[in-house]
Amino acid sequence: MTHPVDRVIIHVTQTTYTKTRFVFESPRKKVSAHYVVRSADGHTSQCVRETDIAWHAGDWDYNTRSIGIEHEGWVDQSSYFTGVMYEASARLTAAICTRYGIPMDRTHIIGHYEVPGTDHTDPGPHWDWARYIRLVNGV
């Protein structure tokens, strides 16, 4: 079964990078995203292969057709959204979009809060979408 990927979903972890890695490596926890980006230095690690479905969106349709990227931080703490994290994440998103032919715009690069039926608010009001989309497009 193939799942055409047409969305990148932006998350914020609400915990530390280390704890996120730990939770995502526990197979019994049905939460995971494909990538996690660290706040301090933009270090990015892959938790789930892109060809595997990650349980990040909370909606089966969106889980199957999206790549999820978690960002270390909290929705109410803007200080975690560092320049290096934005840049590293944008490079990753740009590469994903190129790989799957996903348009690099806000229709296709969305926040978890935009997934239908979700009660999540991430990435929250401090996430700078204009800056992020600009970085993804390399301008």
- Report, as residue numbers or ranges, the catalytic residues: 70
Nearer to Zn ion, 55 or 100 (CB): 55
Rounded to a whole number of angstroms, the distance between the first and last alpha carbons of the chain is 37
* Minimum distance, C-beta of residue 112 to Zn ion, in the bound complex (Å): 3
* Minimum distance, C-beta of residue 14 to Zn ion, in the bound complex (Å): 8
Nearer to Zn ion, 72 or 122 (CB): 122
Closest of 77, 65, 60, 66 to residue 13, by C-alpha: 77
Q: What are phi and psi of 97, to 5 degrees?
A: -60, -40
- Please give the residue ranges that form the binding site for Zn ion (CB under 5 A): 11, 112, 120, 122
* Minimum distance, C-beta of residue 34 to Zn ion, in the bound complex (Å): 12
Q: E strands of the chain, at which residues?
A: 7-12, 35-37, 44-46, 66-71, 109-111
Nearer to Zn ion, 61 or 137 (CB): 61
Query: Tokens 């204009």 map to which residue?
Result: 130
